[in-house]
Structure 1
């Protein structure tokens, strides 16, 4: 870890500015900092107090993320989650710059996909989702269709690359839009970003959630669908978790989750096209986006796709 004044690149210069400016860090003297790996949108840091017990996680907004992240809502969601014991304590120092500061969680570690092979941990995560969906409402309503529309406009404005089969995928996304809107949206306070590293677990198997920057009022089945896709759950495991969450398994619920799973991949594929133009992080956004696109196609091309749309 480095001390103040030893920055060797632009990202380190940025975090040193945060250390100097945030009242919590008292000008940065006596603090050390180092990068935290895992994120693909922002610049993440751990800051520690050398003469004391202070230990914090600092998120510096990635280049261009203001195009699709409402930082006021992100802070609101983080604070509400912390108050419910779902997330770590959050500080509002430099919140007006979109910088997020939380207590670091040294007794927890980020989960991996393999951790969620354990059914008990999956059920603990379902409990976390129930808590999330029961939080007080947020000021921002942003469904997956709002996200898709937003990214399509950004792709156009940035002259970002677009995948060759976009017209076919977006046609099917519009069919899903019509079906879901006809059945009605079930809006709740939603997490919207279930990367494995956002589930912090301890030795007892309890789960806390971090990173609320994509939070919004959204359909609860989007939260479940995007999580199921991110974890590569089998169909059988998805049915177990639907029953755990809803208390029953119904065809319309299964279809609603499945359709949202496909839509989530469309959203993140488009997001990747935007990131190709905007991000300064060392990450293969093209490969990530093409993987998301192909998985969306695998659901939309399946013979059951039309059945899922009718069931909604």
Structure 2
């Protein structure tokens, strides 16, 4: 743990300058340590003498204001806290757009191995259902809004386009038209199912963290992007649909698969924005190219036209 005054990086200097402004911590000894795993921001565990728990403090990454609405993220975090889906949050540094929450030291980040267990997957499905059933969030941002936003940003920044960008864009437009024609089912969505955003307790209970990308969005997108993140086979996707809706339906599965392709297009394009803007030590170009490849693999499936018709 580093003490105040020991900062060596820009993020650490920003952290120190911020936490000394917290009135509730004034005059107390504070120390901090980086928390690994994030690819948007720099995160820290902060220990304050006399406090019963540590704090999780998030320093926004360079350029993230281009696609993260911090006030909307704060509202989503508060809603999750109220529902006991997320950790306790604090408004200490809201004026700096710096997120502060309770560090859940008695929980561990989930891994892909956890999701091999059907009981664990069922628990995740239930926590998704709870979040989806909450009142609407102040921000409505569909996957279409996200893709359009990132396309414009890549264009503005002179970022990388794949050689078949025009083809991918046409596939996106066709999928969007089919989904919009069928009607959108908008609910509060988490939108960011990296394994580390699911914290597991000793009793196998689950809490969500990191609501920066949360918004009102298409219900099945939230489940589809989770499946894509964990490489679930279609047999597991069938179980997820059955667990969530109480029955399996082929048209729901078609919608699910279309959203998986859109999720990869969204995050591949996001990665090309980050490749131009971020200062984090992460290979965003490689990540984006890989996401582009997986989107193609879904769209090239001979069943793709049938999926679009089934919507």
Superposition TM-score tier, normalisation by shorter sequence: over 0.9
Secondary structure at 2:55 match in 1 = strand
Partner of 2:25: 25
Quote the residue 1:230 is aligned against: 229
Structure 1 distance, partners of 2:242, 2:286, is 34
Paired with 1:26 and 1:97, the residues of 2 have a C-alpha distance of 17
Aligned equivalent of 1:34: 33
SS at match of 1:137: coil
Q: Identify the residue that residue 9 of structure 2 maps to in structure 1.
A: 9
Q: Distance in 2 between matches of 1:271 and 1:104?
A: 28
What is the Cα deviation at residue 51 of structure 1? 4.2
8 Å Cα contact 2:11/2:59 also seen in 1: no
Aligned to 1:185: 184
Q: Using the TM superposition, give the Cα deviation of residue 261 of structure 1 relative to its aligned residue in structure 2, in angstroms.
A: 0.6
- SS of the aligned residue for 1:54 comes to coil
Mapped partners of 2:276, 2:289: distance in 1: 16
Deviations 1:181-235 (A, max 9, x none): 0000000000000000000011211110000010100000100110000011111
1:136 paired to 2:135: yes
**2:275 matched to which residue of 1?**
276
| Partner SS, residue 93 of structure 1 | coil
Provide the residue aligned with 1:205 in structure 2. 204
What does the per-residue CA deviation read over 1:82-125, in whole Å, with 9 as the maximum and x for residues that have no partner? 00000000111121322110000011011111111011110000
If the length of structure 1 is used for normalisation, what is the TM-score? 0.98
1:24 Cα deviation after fit:
3.6
Residues 232-251 of structure 1: matches in 2 within 5 Å? 232-251=231-250
Aligned residues: 311
Superposition CA RMSD, Å: 1.0
| Separation (CA, whole Å) in 2 of partners of 1:134 and 1:97 | 31
Which moved further from structure 2: 159-168 or 74-83? 159-168
Q: In 1, distance between residues paired with 2:59 and 2:82?
A: 23
- Name the SS for the 1:21 alignment partner: coil
Distance 1:91 1:52, change over 3 A: closer
SS at 2:288's partner residue?
A: helix
Greater displacement, 77-86 / 89-98: 89-98
Q: Secondary structure of the residue that 2:100 maps to in structure 1? A: strand
Deviation at 1:52, TM superposition (A): 4.1
Structure 1 runs, 4 residues or longer, greater than 3 Å off: none
Q: Secondary structure at the match of 1:307?
A: helix
For the residue of structure 1 that corresponds to 2:86, the secondary structure is coil
Tell me the distance in 2 between the aligned counterparts of 1:74 and 1:52: 25
**Structure 1 residues 99-155: Cα deviation after superposition (integer angstroms, max 9, x where no partner):** 110000011011111111011110000011011101111111110010000001101
Where does residue 121 of structure 1 map in the other structure? 120
- For residues 262-273 of structure 1, what are the structure 2 equivalents within 5 Å? 262-273=261-272
2:287 matched residue in structure 1: 288
